[in-house]
Amino acid sequence: MYIQGKVIRVYDIQSGESPRGSWKKREFILETYAKIPKKVCLVLKGESVDSIQVNTGDSLRVSIDIESREFKEKWYTEVRAWKVEPAIMNQDDQTNNADDNPF
């Protein structure tokens, strides 16, 4: 699964220690190219933080995994980026005239 859009914000790297060892992550916000743009918070974790460079203003195609988990009767959803490449733009994406309605 992938999502395509423009990076509008990149947050600082967060790191810490857990019972399973050290961890680090970096979050960034991607705004989609849909007719009605959506903002999605994506996260890079572990070695991906160092190996994948993301900058504000980049147009990207991001391969993602979506995972939810429960903690104290609340559910938390994470959209994890695992592959980042330049966006593949077609004419509809560039003009923002993509028809999201199949009817």
Domains of the chain plus CATH, in order, are 2-91 (2.40.50.140)
pLDDT tens, position by position, 65-95: 999 999 999 999 999 999 999 988 765 544 4
Please provide the size of the chain in residues. 103
Q: Residue 101: is its pLDDT beyond 90? A: no
Using a pLDDT cut of 90, give the percent of the chain over it: 80
Query: What pLDDT, on the 0 to 100 scale, is given for residue 58?
Result: 96
Q: What does each C-alpha distance from 89 to 52, 54, 59, 78, 92 come to in angstroms?
A: 21, 18, 9, 26, 8
Q: Residue 63: is its pLDDT beyond 80? A: yes
This prediction's pTM? 0.80
Q: Residue 103: is its pLDDT beyond 80? A: no
